Every structure is written in structure tokens, then in C-alpha cells.
Amino acid sequence: MSTIQAKFKNGVFQPVGSVDLPDDCDVEFEPRLVNPQPDAAALDAIYEVLGRRYESGVTDTAERHNEHQP
């Protein structure tokens, strides 16, 4: 069975295109967002952490890669 895309509107999933299923059949699915919008607060937190590394003054983080290896 191929993937079926649908819109969720007014509490109902409406297929975007034709669906090759018999009428009145039972189906089971796990909906997932096709183009989810990023959470601005989560992205701000990620960029804040990345910014700390950028401003740390360490220019070559791979330089000490093997330092703690057995």
C-alpha cells in the first residue's frame, strides 16, 4: 500500500488525492506532519548552545580527539 496524504480539517482527515480502498473499510494509521513548523523556542535554545561553542575560543575541537581514548 502506498502512502496517502491528507489534510486534517474540522476534526476529519480528508485525502488530498484518490484513495484505492474499498468503501466502509477499517484502516489504521499513525499521522505525521509533512511540513512541521519548527518550534521557535527550541531553535533559540539550540542556537544558544551552538553559539557558546563558537565563542569558546577553541578553533580546532578535533585537535584533542584522542586525548581520552584508551
pTM here is 0.44
What is the CB neighbour count within 10 angstroms for residue 12? 8
The three cell numbers of residue 17 are 488525492
pLDDT value of residue 36: 76
Q: How far apart are CA 38 and CA 70, in angstroms?
A: 40
> pLDDT grade, residue 16 (50/70/90)?
very high
